[in-house]
């Protein structure tokens, strides 16, 4: 099998299972937190709080990137499909005029913020490299599909727009208005998973440092609010028409 076909095949397989990345990160964080030395946190008052704020802002920036991309996307473009590549229209304006894969950039910041919260630089570097290897193949398969689907229109757009890191020199305003309902309908699970990721890492650190299971009340409150928010939005999405939009995916 030619390398180009191998890359595309692997990318399509990885595309199907990209939703399992959070589970993998949760599992990997256990030994990382266990073997990381956190004595430096005891030498500086409020350092952990400042680091938590920094890591949260990194993850939040990923959520913002995803929100902009999803909230202004054409309804006929790819949604949360997991079985195969799907697209009936090509996004080329707004955030898609600055980079070709804003959702994957958003994913990176969203999850690397949690990884940073382990305070293990080697884990951050390793996950960054693995993320690139994983998503590079997904992006390759996706672009092969789009090139076959849209032909010259896709090629011309891709030649002037970088794949992952944004460039604003060719920015074009989006004619599709931002939809908050779309974000509430489609992104609640990702936000909840991110919050639970931070709670999980903090819980592990307290456990391994103290030598005993110690679940702070604040962990329960934060996790409970996140889960309740997801339950409410999921109910609104599946049992009512409150979040329904005729012209949105």
Q: Range of 149's domain?
A: 3-239
User: What are 200-230's pLDDT values in tens digits?
Assistant: 999 999 999 888 877 788 999 999 999 999 9
Angle of helix 121-150 versus helix 152-160 axis, rounded to 10: 150
Q: Is residue 246 part of a domain?
A: no
Q: How many CB atoms lie within 10 A of CB 120?
A: 19
CA 213 to chain centre: 30
Q: How many CB atoms lie within 10 A of CB 20?
A: 10
Output the pLDDT for position 54: 97
Distance between CA atoms of residues 112 and 198, nearest Å: 11
pTM for this entry: 0.89
Q: In the numeric block, which tokens belong to residue 194?
A: 């991110």
Average pLDDT over residues 49-57: 95
Torsion of CA 109, 115, 120, 126, to 10 degrees: -70
Q: Is residue 245 part of a domain?
A: no
Output the pLDDT for position 85: 55
Of the two residues 247 and 32, the one the predictor is more confident about is 32
CA-to-CA dists, residue 216 to 2, 39, 55, 135, angstroms: 54, 20, 20, 36
- Proportion of the chain above pLDDT 90, given as a percent: 50
Work out the pLDDT band at 81, boundaries 50, 70, 90: low
Distance between CA atoms of residues 181 and 243, nearest Å: 6
Of the two residues 239 and 216, the one the predictor is more confident about is 239
The answer on pLDDT for 141 being more than 60 is: yes
Q: Is residue 247 part of a domain?
A: no
Q: Is residue 248 part of a domain?
A: no
Q: How many CB atoms lie within 10 A of CB 172?
A: 11
Contact 223, 193 (CB under 8 A): no
Distance between CA atoms of residues 25 and 29, nearest Å: 6
Ranges of beta strands (E only) in 94-207 are: none
CATH number of the domain that residue 207 is part of: 1.20.120
Q: What's the domain count of the chain?
A: 1
End-to-end Cα spacing for the chain = 36
Q: Is residue 45 part of a domain?
A: yes
Output the pLDDT for position 69: 92
Q: Is residue 168 part of a domain?
A: yes
Q: Is residue 41 part of a domain?
A: yes
- Proportion of the chain above pLDDT 70, given as a percent: 92
């Amino acid at each position: 099998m030619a390398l180009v076909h191998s890359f595309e095949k692997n990318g399509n397989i990885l595309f199907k299972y990209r939703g399992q990345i959070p589970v993998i990160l949760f599992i990997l964080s256990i030994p990382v937190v266990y073997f990381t030395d956190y004595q430096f946190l005891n030498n500086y008052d409020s350092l952990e709080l400042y680091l938590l704020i920094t890591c949260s802002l990194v993850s939040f920036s990923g959520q913002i990137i995803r929100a902009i991309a999803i909230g202004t996307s054409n309804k006929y473009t790819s949604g949360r499909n997991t079985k195969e590549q799907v697209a009936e229209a090509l996004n080329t304006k707004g955030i898609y005029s600055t980079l070709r894969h804003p959702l994957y950039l958003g994913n990176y910041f969203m999850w690397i913020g949690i990884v940073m919260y382990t305070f293990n630089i080697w884990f951050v570097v390793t996950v960054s490299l693995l993320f690139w290897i994983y998503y590079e193949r997904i992006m390759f398969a996706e672009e092969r599909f789009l090139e076959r689907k849209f032909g010259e229109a896709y090629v011309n757009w891709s030649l002037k727009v970088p794949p992952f890191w944004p460039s604003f020199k060719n920015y074009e305003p989006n004619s599709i208005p931002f939809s908050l309902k779309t974000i509430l309908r489609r992104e609640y699970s990702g936000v909840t998973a991110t919050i639970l990721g931070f709670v999980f890492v903090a819980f592990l650190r307290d456990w391994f440092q103290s030598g005993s299971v110690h679940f702070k009340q604040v962990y329960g409150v934060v996790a409970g609010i996140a889960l309740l928010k997801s339950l409410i939005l999921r109910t609104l999405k599946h049992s009512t028409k409150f979040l329904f939009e005729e012209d949105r995916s």
